[in-house]
């Protein structure tokens, strides 16, 4: 799958585990910042794209879309693209306060098509979530790893009824 030509990691970013591939979102789709000094990071917001990986990538790179996420995980193989540096504010939650205080992880797929929630996607995303939690001291619990639908004022339903929260949190915590 041709996701994008991976380039070097973004300057001034901390190494991430698992490996991510830098695929920058258009700069019109996020706010430059100096997190966590400017805004403490205390949440992960879990999303489902309702698009293919490639279509979501194109949306993040379209300067008129006004949307982005820090990361996106591919369904088939768990490939991770990073679109916005963690120090910057991605426009993913639909709530400015939560955007400033969270890292957004998109997952390729559709909320009503559970076949997209593969073992590779869950495992790769959980390793990424654990690394982000470790970096910012975020407790790896459901109180701090939330669905887009749980953001105050949310108009989205993702990750939806087929997202296996128990499995995901077990993978994040290694339990």
The catalytic residues are 106
The C-alpha atoms of residue 93 and residue 114 are separated, in whole angstroms, by 22
For residue 143, what is the DSSP state?
T
Kindly report the three-state secondary structure assignment for every residue of 62-121: CCCCCCCCCEEECCCCCCEEECCCCCCEECCCCCHHHHHCEEEEEECECCCCHHHCCHHH
Assigned token pair, 76: 């088939």
Tell me how crowded residue 137 is: count the other CB atoms within 10 A of its CB: 10
Give the residue from 96, 104, 83 showing the smallest Cα distance to 147: 104
């Amino acid at each position: 799958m041709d996701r994008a030509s991976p380039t070097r990691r973004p300057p001034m970013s901390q190494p991430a585990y698992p490996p991510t591939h830098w695929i920058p979102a258009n700069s019109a789709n996020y706010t430059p910042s100096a997190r966590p000094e400017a805004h403490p990071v205390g949440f992960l917001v879990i999303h489902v794209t309702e698009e293919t990986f490639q279509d979501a990538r194109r949306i993040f790179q379209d300067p008129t879309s006004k949307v982005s996420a820090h990361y996106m995980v591919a369904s088939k193989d768990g490939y991770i693209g990073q679109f916005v540096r963690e120090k910057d504010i991605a426009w993913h939650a639909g709530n400015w306060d939560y955007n400033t205080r969270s890292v957004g992880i998109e997952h390729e797929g559709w909320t009503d098509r559970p076949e997209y929630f593969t073992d590779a996607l869950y495992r790769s995303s959980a390793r990424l979530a654990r690394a982000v939690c470790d970096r910012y001291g975020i407790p790896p619990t459901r109180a701090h790893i939330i669905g887009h639908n749980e953001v105050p004022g949310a108009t989205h339903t993702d990750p939806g009824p087929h997202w296996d929260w128990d499995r995901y949190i077990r993978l994040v915590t290694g339990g």
